[in-house]
Amino acid sequence: METRNGSAASAVPAQPSYASGTSEVALLGDTIGTNLDRTAARFGERDALVEFATGRRWTYREFVADVDALALGLLDAGLGKGDRVGIWAPNRAEWTLVQYATAKIGAILVNINPSYRVHELEFVLNQSGIRMLVSAQRFKTSDYVTMVEQVRPQSPALERVVFLDTAEWEALLQPDGDARRLAEAQAGLSADDPINIQYTSGTTGFPKGATLSHHNILNNGFFVGELCGYTEIDRVAIVPPFYHCFGMVMGNLACTTHGSAMVVPSEGFDPATALSAVATERCTSLYGVPTMFIAELDLPDFDSYDLSSLRTGIMAGSPCPTEVMKQVIDRMGMAEVAICYGMTETSPVSTQTRADDSLDRRVSTVGRVGPHLEVKIVDPSTGLTVPVGEPGELCTRGYSVMLGYWQQPDATAEVIDAARWMHTGDLAAMDSSGYVSITGRIKDMIIRGGENLYPREIEEFLYTHPDILDAQVIGVPDPRYGEELMAWVRLREGAGEMTAETLREFCSGRLAHHKIPRYVHVVDEFPMTVTGKVRKVEMREEAKKLLDLG
């Protein structure tokens, strides 16, 4: 084609892989405590929290009363704005009370994974400087009391440990302080204050503490709830753990910003209890990673549960198989079920499918950008936005991006650039309608059953084994968890036999169970590039043959 003067017309520029989430609903400017007070003022007699396994339940009026009592108890204990309070417990009502009570006084809640062992607990206590730890006494096979006793001598910042179900915990809920102190404490808070530290597995050894503000997580929970259509009549079965954003933000905060009920089926995931909670409490929404939904659908008596109250829910954590999504919609009645994508560092959700999206959209993409957020796909080598349809690194920007990694400015600068874009490390592509598909991972992150695991952290621990000279950890395909861990190890001269069983014995009690490699392969050397880098791609292909994984 030529213009009138005979010169060739310039080609139409390609549409960039960029999208921004417009919304007629404004961002919330509240702190978490103030927002909870507003909700309780509107819906005081409606259910706020139901602990299904024990039958305990709170209306919003009762819930705020207990939150305020605990907040005053924390103030009486000498805690206040900026102090770190750790919570180490499975999903139970007290976890939620601590979440909101710390927010009321401006203390920073530090989430501790219930499956942590001594090795990880000691690191988190010291890296975040926790002054008070609120802990369960035990969970499953974990004896928290014994583990806390082991680490206390090495944790100088830790002044006080309060175990649940003790007189000391009950005393915290019956404070002597003047209620006006709490109002004064709340009045001195800003929505931009840090309020939560969540540890993510580190690519360079130990975990990093993603530091999140009231503004970060309150708004993320609110807009996730908005896209799920929550109101005060909704009842959400929160199956994922509270220590992760899925439970405490997408679950708890999505509910309390809308006056919905938080229904906690059990301390840890049990498929039968989850469905019983939905049926008995008439839940309208059910959460989980795909493996949880698979386990629920696989129950022999699945058809005996009355799930007719369900209309929506959220599946996140790892890709959802098409057949599972079909069954969730058809057999569970969750016609409006959503897929969410995000990371702890972004509070967590960046993209989400909508209620009217097709089945294909919900299984082949992670939806579109959320309200008041931006996403783009960039060339990892240049940082330039790629055209629609081309793969690159997914970046996100907006209210959800964390304040930074706790006391790790260099690590923060590696992932948040000067323009405040969070570089996710995930490879993705965007279509012309703004739907995002995750196509891979730039780094070697392994997703096992919805848990993000980084090989370097596990490798660092394996180096402490007296017989291991070198170790490399990779992910291999697994039909149940998506991926499983495999360790390739080089042994010291004269070392004894190394098997998966002997390695598990070494790791047990010292490393969280989901980080313990399922497979072990002993080698004399690793496949290397000419520049001396380990070729994990080659190792993964070889592992499939060794394990006959196809």
Per-residue pLDDT 10s for the chain (550 aa) are 444 444 445 678 899 999 999 999 999 999 999 999 999 999 999 999 999 999 999 999 999 999 999 999 999 999 999 999 999 999 999 999 999 999 999 999 999 999 899 989 999 999 999 999 999 999 999 999 999 999 999 999 999 999 999 999 999 999 987 889 999 999 999 999 999 999 986 434 578 999 999 999 999 999 999 999 999 999 999 999 999 999 999 999 999 999 999 999 999 999 999 999 999 999 999 999 888 998 899 899 999 999 999 999 999 987 777 888 999 999 999 999 999 999 999 999 999 999 999 999 998 899 999 999 999 999 988 999 999 999 899 999 999 999 999 999 999 999 999 999 999 998 899 999 999 998 767 767 788 888 878 787 888 889 889 999 888 899 999 989 999 999 999 898 889 899 999 999 999 999 999 999 999 999 998 887 544 567 888 899 999 999 998 6
Q: How far is CA 470 from each of CA 170, 323, 490, 492, rounded to the nearest angstrom?
A: 49, 41, 5, 9
CATH 3.40.50.12780 in the chain is located at: 32-430
Superfamily of domain 32-430: ANL, N-terminal domain (3.40.50.12780)
Q: Which helix (H) or strand (E) holds 20?
A: strand 18-20
Closest CA to 457 of 473, 470, 443, 469: 473
Query: Rounded distance, CA 337 to CA 90, Å?
Result: 25
Among 3.30.300.30, 3.30.365.10, 3.30.230.10, 3.90.1150.10, name the CATH number for the domain at 446-546.
3.30.300.30
CATH 3.30.300.30 in the chain is located at: 446-546
Phi, psi of 228 (to 5 degrees): -85, -5
Residue in this structure with the two tokens 């970046």, named with its chain if needed: 395
Q: How far is CA 344 from each of CA 322, 340, 401, 404, 424, rounded to the nearest angstrom?
A: 26, 13, 9, 11, 10
